[in-house]
Amino acid sequence: MNRPKNTRAIIFSCLAAACFTLPHFGAHAAEITWRLQSVAGAGTTEYKNLVERFAKEVNQRTGGRVEVKTFPAGMLMSSATVVDAVSKGTLDVGHTYLVYFSGKEPALKAVNEWPAEVNALQGYNWFYEGGGSELMRKIVARHNMHFLGVSPLLGEQIWSKKPIRGVDDLKGLKVRAAGLAADGFAKLGASVVALPGEEVYTALQRGVVDAVEFTTMPVNYGLGLQEVAKFISVPSYSGGGTSDWIVSQAAWNKVPADLKPKIEEALKVASMDYNTSAVAEEKELMVKLEKSGVTLVKWPDSEMRKMENARLAVMRDKYAVESKDYAEKLDSQLKFLGKLGYRAN
């Protein structure tokens, strides 16, 4: 049965103010009030357990002195314009993907992605423990933003109308992809199609594409992709990534020094609690999907390595050449992966 278009679209935007509620914390007026728009859609686990949880933690930890008003994807503006709005100071906080800003800042290409997953929390740990925060804050600071922190992100899989068992099956296949995935798939011979997320379902349904990479399993499931794509290639080819939290520099400068660490801690608490719930949700969905007739196609390690090598080649030969800052970031990430046991070709 085809899922109505408006049901699928809720992942991207809320069509009426009734679709969400702004939390009301305490009786006293806050000293600082932030408006935050998330890349997460209204009603998703990510919005509820991460974004709204962050707002609640900030209020509690600052004693009500800082209030964060949260808005789901698309409520105030397109997700693609959030970083630009924070940079200009017209939005206080963005929970987003900095890759949206890569047209203006080449160092942010594939900023959330890794060539390989060794540890699901590698991106999170690299930022906080591996020197990532210093590198990334230097990059975004020149665009009038403070990089508050990151949240762990579940990896993505390939959802397809026919089984894809390895990289050879990608040759000539029409695949919806974006960013590093698009460049990596193209390098492996796929015919990459650029489509906004809102069109992914109908593109599969109508045969415009044979397969898609879009986002995490819970979000794809919420879009109903299992109705039109009966095969999912596992494991994730893009694990270990993160979503980004940025604050306009002007807004951050107004925060008293004693409150800044409390806001940072609020994000860490919300992020790790969300990660626990997201991992559990994904495991439950895998069981549910198989019971509903969807086939999980397991790629052997040898095929995963080919995918990793293609992605790494794009990062080294294209992105790092275009930006010295990106090259520095990639070098730092590869050294961090090396400590976890990964050896790049």
Alpha-carbon gap, residue 35 to 275, rounded angstroms? 24
pTM for this predicted structure: 0.85
Q: In what order do the strands lie in the sheet with 211-212?
A: 191-193, 174-176, 211-212, 158-160, 231-234, 295-298
What domains are there in the chain, each with its CATH number?
A: 11-153+240-283 (3.40.190.170), 158-238+294-339 (3.40.190.170)
Q: Are 72 and 47 in contact (CB under 8 A)?
A: yes
Q: Are 135 and 329 in contact (CB under 8 A)?
A: yes
Q: Are 234 and 298 in contact (CB under 8 A)?
A: yes
Could you list the pLDDT tens digit for every one of the 345 residues in the chain? 444 444 444 444 444 444 444 444 444 678 999 999 998 888 888 999 999 999 999 999 999 999 999 999 889 998 889 999 999 999 999 999 998 899 999 999 998 889 888 989 999 999 999 999 999 999 999 999 999 999 999 999 999 999 999 999 999 999 999 889 999 999 999 999 988 777 889 999 999 999 999 888 988 998 899 999 999 999 998 888 999 999 999 999 999 999 999 999 999 999 999 999 999 999 999 999 999 999 999 999 999 999 999 999 999 999 999 999 999 999 999 999 999 988 776
